[in-house]
Amino acid sequence: MSMSPRSATSNSPAPKASQAKQAESAPPAVRKFSVERSGASFPPDSPFPPIADYGFLSDCHTGALVASDGSIDWMCIPHFDSPSVFAAMLDRGAGSWRVGPYDVYVPAGRRYIPGTNLIETTWMTPQGWLRVVDGLTIGEWHDNKEGSSHTRAPTDFDADHLLVRVIECTQGEVQLEMVCEPMLQYGSMPAKWSVADTGSEGGYAFDASDGRTEFRLFSDVRMGIEGNRVHARHTMSEGERRFCAISWTEGLAGPRTAEQAEEYLNRTSHFWRGWLADGTYPDHPWRYHLERSALALKGLTFMPTGALVAAPTTSLPETPHGERNWDYRYCWMRDASFTLWGLHALGLDWEADDFIQYVADLERNEDGSLQIMYGITGDRDHLKGYEGARPVRIGNGAYNQRQNDVFGAVLDSVYLHSKKRDHIPERLWPVLTDQVQCATKVWKEPDQGIWEARGEPRHYVSSKLMCWVAMDRGARLAERRGEDEQAEEWQAVADEIHEDILKRGVDKRGVFRQHYDTDALDASTLLIPLLRFLPPDDERVVATVNAIREELTENGLVLRYRTDETDDGLSGAEGTFLICSFWLVSALSEIGERREAEHLCERLLSYSSHLGLYGEELEASSGRHLGNYPQAFTHLALINAVTHVIQAQQAG
């Protein structure tokens, strides 16, 4: 979605990567990914895995994407928005770390260990079977000598700053291979390796550095340095266990034995399962999708501040070979606020507490308004891009756009939270007051809209809608605080916006339009019943939902808008937006089309990756995932849609 990317950090900006020219290095062996392997339409000779082939690891400080062949193709350290150390997802020569059987790349099976964000991959080889468990590990809270990036209250757990991989030969014999070939600073700088002193604890360890980023590779398998990579091969016998791990902790500490490595993974499993158990999930066949989406959303939170990144990646294309490529490693106020809907729906309220405090911490504009997103850097032109899709973007230029919907998103999330908690932190009230006042001033002005169009500002209906939400929720919050005069004043503005939308935002058919100067459709108007702007049985709501279902879809999947009818400042088509299709499920359920809602939801759930994850878009003709991955907004909308359908089923 081109609802913009978000920043993993709040007041502590990510370190800026150098502009060093890309150093020459021998590219890694090219891996071919076929149509049969991905299950979707894809060039059979492409060296890039399909986007949906990747699994997502997280320690709530950073994330990693691992392909089904056992290669870590994307990871930034120490934070989501830090420079990458592995970026083969965007350029096959930009660094990767593969662990798996020699010369066997297609696994026999792959799954998340239930209730966790740990990935288990199993291979069958001619001589035996191999099992690998990967995880960004989380352990008990520990104090750092150099201070902490945490601005939230300490919990019982924190990231270990370790990526641990435990390997077991479960039958026969298997020749294991490990190739760790980092390219630091977004693929521009090959790592320089040196032997690390392991002391009396034994094992093997090498340090990698470019003078700024430093990490240590541990293993109990003998390793050798080959230029900018470390290589290991070892024949494993039945019952044998080995490990390797990368550490970027303060002291570059890490496991020295397979038993220690497994203990790191066990503690991490305990953390994820304990967190998941705090939620409430219906006993339903779709429960798995709710749990997996909750785990994905938790994995996209930045534990030190309570921020939520839109996705852990940058520049995965919304159109194959196209220019619709964005950096989503940022905290969008809109996306993060909406995500609280999903977490609250499942009873997971702790993250909402942290996010509310995160909002209170943020620096605001001179007029008191919040930016639409937090955290920016620049572009990186040397990366070739996923399947040649350029430019590769580091940072996001939408941060300074006028998007009037941000005020409503923040107010709605706080209002929802206040109903759950019956409390608003006192230091947050001035922030909320400023957002309502800003909405009062700007609601009559055009903006770039919810989709961050790069064309001329327009009077988007969705932006007016969210300004109404800001005033309506602000009035309700003021009333709860006993601020009756303020509540009355804000409600009067809400009523004025409501009247204006109904007067200028509806076409002759009685269908809500994209903006006041067009009759084009826009999927964001599906939010009208979901935000309680009008009751679901209102004839204009019903007409809009039906018009979008019939006229703004490809193969039954919903587009944001027709690119030939919208000046978004970009060229080319784009895929169908998953969040919009899930919105349609919720809207159909709201207007009483329960059978249609159930069928569409079932279809959308079938399009998830093999690991239950979603990108931003789907290619309607093939089901191929497009855009940054995994996408928080999509998983939020899934929770909302599935909850709608299940509640309708249970209501009979």
Note whether residue 426 is domain-resident. Answer: yes
Q: Are residues 244 and 354 in the same domain?
A: no
Q: Which of the residue ranges 115-129, 562-576, 609-623 would you say has the lowest mean pLDDT? A: 562-576
**Phi, psi for residue 411 in degrees, rounded to 5:** -65, -40
Q: How many domains does the chain have?
A: 2
Where on the phi/psi map is residue 601: left (φ > 0), alpha (ψ -120 to 50), or beta? alpha
Res 476: pLDDT:
96
Same domain, yes or no: 354 and 261: no
Residue 304 resides in a domain: no
Q: Is the pTM of this model over 0.85?
A: yes
What's the average model confidence in pLDDT over 290-297?
96
* pLDDT given for residue 27 in this prediction: 32
CATH number of the structural domain spanning residue 140: 2.70.98
Residue with the bigger pLDDT between 38 and 493: it is 493
Query: Is 645 a domain residue?
Result: no
**Rg of the chain in Å (alpha carbons):** 25
pLDDT at 201: 75
Range in 38-52, 110-124, 464-478 the model is least confident about:
38-52
- Mean per-residue pLDDT for 214-218? 95
Q: What is the pLDDT of residue 305?
A: 86
Q: Are 94 and 229 contained in the same domain?
A: yes
Distance between CA atoms of residues 435 and 408, nearest Å: 8
Residue 619 domain-assigned?
no
Distance CA 525, CA 112 (A): 36
Token output for 34 = 């076929």
Do both 352 and 465 map to the same domain?
yes
Together in a domain, 348 and 482 = yes
Q: Please give the average per-residue pLDDT across 42-71, as a whole number.
A: 90
Domain check: are 198 and 264 in the same one? yes
Strand locations in 88-197, DSSP E? 96-101, 109-112, 119-124, 128-140, 157-181, 183, 189-190, 192-195
Mean pLDDT to the nearest integer, 174-183? 97
d(CA 606, CA 604): 5
- Token pair recorded at residue 518: 């067009």
Q: Of 508, 531, 552, which marks where a domain is finished?
A: 508
Per the model's pLDDT, the better-predicted residue between 180 and 350 turns out to be 180
Question: Are the CB atoms for 1 and 579 separated by under 8 Å?
Answer: yes
Q: Is the pLDDT of residue 188 over 90?
A: no
Taking residues 18-34, report their average pLDDT. 32
Candidate from 21-30, 274-283, 502-511, 533-542 with smallest mean pLDDT:
21-30
Residue at a domain's end among 508, 541, 556: 508
What distance in Å separates the CA atoms of residue 202 and residue 219, rounded to the nearest whole number? 10
Whether 364 and 489 share a structural domain: yes
- Mean pLDDT over 251-273 rounds to 96
Q: For the ranges 239-248, 359-368, 563-572, 596-605, which has the lowest average pLDDT?
A: 563-572
Over 90: is that where the pLDDT of 349 sits?
A: no
> pLDDT tier at 144 (50, 70, 90 boundaries)?
low
User: pLDDT (tens digit, 9 = 90+) per residue, 92-113?
Assistant: 999 999 999 999 999 999 999 9
Q: How many CA atoms lie within 13 A of 648 on its CB side?
A: 22
pLDDT at 276: 96
Q: Answer yes or no: is 638 within a domain.
A: no
What is the pLDDT, as a whole number, of residue 370? 82
Residue 283 lies in a domain: no
Same domain for 220 and 87, yes or no, is yes
pLDDT over 70 for what percent of the chain? 85
Band of pLDDT at residue 270, cut at 50, 70 and 90: very high
* 105 and 221 inside one domain: yes
Confidence tier at 514 by pLDDT (50, 70, 90) = very high
Q: Where are the beta strands (DSSP E) in 248-310?
A: 301-302, 307-308
pLDDT in the model for residue 256: 95
Q: What single string gives the DSSP state of each residue in 344-394?
A: HHTT--HHHHHHHHHHHHS---TTSPPPSEE----B--SS--GGG----BS
Q: Is the pLDDT of residue 392 over 70?
A: no
Q: What pLDDT shows up at residue 393?
A: 64
Predicted pLDDT at 419: 80
pLDDT above 60 (res 635): yes
Arithmetic mean of pLDDT over the chain: 86
Cα–Cα distance, 261 to 247 (Å, whole number): 12
Averaged pLDDT for residues 281-296:
96
pLDDT digits (tens, 9 = 90+) for 551-610: 999 999 999 999 888 776 666 667 799 999 999 999 999 999 999 999 999 999 999 999
| Of 216-225, 266-275, 278-287, 355-364, the least confident | 355-364
94 lies in the same domain as 201: yes
Q: Which helix (H) or strand (E) holds 336?
A: helix 333-345
The pLDDT, as a whole number, for residue 36 is 31
Q: Which pLDDT band holds residue 14 (cuts at 50, 70, 90)? A: very low
Residue 129 or 421, more confident = 129
Which residues constitute the domain of residue 359? Answer: 333-374+402-508
User: Which range is least confidently modeled, 138-152, 218-232, 579-593?
Assistant: 138-152
Characterize 68-82 residue by residue with b for buried, 16 or more Cβ atoms within 10 angstroms of its Cβ, and e for exposed: bbbbbbbbbbbbbbb
Instruction: Provide the 8-state DSSP code for 83.
Output: P
Task: Report how far residue 509's alpha carbon sits from residue 593's, in angstroms, rounded to the nearest whole number.
Answer: 20
pLDDT for 146: 56
Helix or strand holding residue 423 (H, E): none
* 43 — pLDDT class (breaks 50, 70, 90): low
Check whether 488 has a pLDDT greater than 80: yes
For residue 385, pLDDT over 70 is answered with no
157-166, 177-186, 391-400: which has the minimum mean pLDDT?
A: 391-400
- Whether 268 and 346 map to the same domain: the answer is no
Mutual angle of helices 594-606 and 632-651, in 10-degree steps: 140
pLDDT at position 344 over 90: no
Q: Which of 112-121, 415-424, 542-551, 619-628 has the lowest mean pLDDT?
A: 415-424
| pLDDT (0 to 100) of residue 358 | 81
Cβ neighbours around 564 below 10 Å, total: 7
Kindly report each contact of residues 644-651 with a partner whose C-beta sits within 8 Å and lies 24 or more positions away, as own/partner.
644/585, 644/586, 644/589, 644/590, 644/597, 645/286, 645/585, 645/589, 645/594, 645/597, 645/598, 645/601, 646/282, 646/284, 646/286, 648/589, 648/594, 648/597, 648/598, 649/594, 649/598, 650/282
Cα–Cα distance between 134 and 71 in angstroms, integer? 11
Shared-domain flag, residues 349 and 242: no
Containing H/E element for 333?
helix 333-345
In this prediction, residue 24 has a pLDDT band, given cuts at 50, 70 and 90, of very low
- Which of 483, 508, 533 is the endpoint of a domain? 508
Reported as a pLDDT band with limits 50, 70 and 90, residue 395 is low
Mean pLDDT, residues 530-549: 97
Quick one: pLDDT at residue 571?
Answer: 61
Q: How far apart are CA 376 and CA 258, in angstroms?
A: 40
CB 243 within 8 Å of CB 167: yes
Position with higher pLDDT, 324 vs 288:
288
**355 located within any domain:** yes
- Which of 17-26, 142-151, 452-461 shows the highest mean pLDDT? 452-461
In a domain, 104, yes or no: yes
